[in-house]
Amino acid sequence: MATTKVRSNVYLDKQLKEEVRSIFKEYGLSLSDGINMLLGRVVKNKEQIFPKELNIEPIYKDDPDYELIKNAKKYYKEHSEDYVDFNDIKWD
């Protein structure tokens, strides 16, 4: 069975992308092949993609907080300078 491929644009951290590309290359995978493999695992294991201690739950359109989250994302896009990048936080 042939797989239909589509082009998709995503924004990646430059250094992270190069590190991941190097790791995939060690296994004979292109970056595209590796990302497709990881996305397939997300679909297969969708209930287990985040560690339980993060307590992250899916948000659906009928969720009471859906509009709040939608507006927060919109605000972030317009005012990203008001936010801290998690990569800049020094964790213990």
pLDDT for residue 25: 94
pLDDT one-digit tens code per residue, 52-64: 777 777 788 888 8
pLDDT for residue 1: 61
Taking the C-alpha atoms of residue 70 and residue 77, their distance in angstroms, rounded to an integer, is 11
pLDDT one-digit tens code per residue, 64-92: 888 888 888 888 888 878 777 777 777 76
Closest CA to 32 of 9, 55, 58: 9
Token pair 């695992």 is at which residue? 41
* Domains in the chain: boundaries: 14-83
pLDDT exceeds cutoff 70 at 26? yes
Both tokens assigned to 7 = 């082009």
34 vs 48 pLDDT, higher one? 34
Q: Can you tell me the mean pLDDT for 25-51?
A: 87
Q: Can you tell me the mean pLDDT for 12-41?
A: 93
Taking the C-alpha atoms of residue 70 and residue 53, their distance in angstroms, rounded to an integer, is 24
